[in-house]
Amino acid sequence: MDQLNLFALEEKKVYEYFFLASPDLNIRAKVKNEKLKLHNEIGLNKENLYSVPHISLFKLQNYNSEDLILPLIKKALTNVKSFMVEIKDLVVFDHGEKKSIALDFKDPDPLREINNRILNEFLFKPNPFKPHLTIARSVPNKDFRRIKDLKSYYLNGCFVCDSITVLRKELGSKQKYETFGRIWLN
C-alpha cells in the first residue's frame, strides 16, 4: 500500500507586499543626508538610518493569488499619468511615546488617487491616507526633545513619479523586502 509522503508536499510561502513610490536619486540623497544629520544629533536606530527613502502607498498581507498581484496593479493604474511631486513642508506625526519626522507634499492628491485605485482593485474600502516621505520613524520622545532646530531638517525639491514599485518578503520574516515588480505610469 502506498503511503502519503507528507514531506513531499511543498508548503506554499505566504508573502507581505509593499506598494510604494520612489523619489529620484537627488531627493533620495537629500533625505539620506537629513537622516545622517539627525543621527549625528540624536542617534537613530539602524532601521531609520538605513531605510531607503520612499512614499508608502499600501501593504497587502497574506494574499493567496500571487500571480494576480501585478496584473491587478497594472489594471488599477491604467491611464494614470506620471506627475510631479513637490515637497511642501516638514511635518511631525505624534504617536504618543514616539514621533515621526516626515516631508509633506504640495499636492498629495495624485498619490491619494493611486492609493484609492489600488485599494479598489483589491476590494478594500478607502481609508484616510496622508502621503509623506519619512526622514525618521518612531523616534522616542526623549530623543525627539533633543533636536535643537527641527526646521533645519526641511528640504525642498521635487521629482517626477513615473512608476510604482511592488516589494515583497515572506510574511513574518525579518528579511529585507525584494523587488517583485515595477509598474510604469503613462
What are the tens digits of pLDDT across the range 70-86?
999 999 999 999 999 99
pLDDT at 5 over 60: no
Residue 3 has pLDDT above 70, yes or no: no
CA distance to 16, 65, 166, per residue, from 72 (Å) = 16, 11, 12
pLDDT tens, position by position, 98-148: 999 999 999 999 999 999 999 999 999 988 999 999 999 999 999 999 999
Predicted TM-score of the model (pTM): 0.89
Architecture per CATH, 12-184: Alpha-Beta Complex (3.90)
| Encoded amino acid at 143, one letter | D
Widest Cα–Cα separation across the chain: 76
**In which residue are the cell numbers 509522503 written?**
5
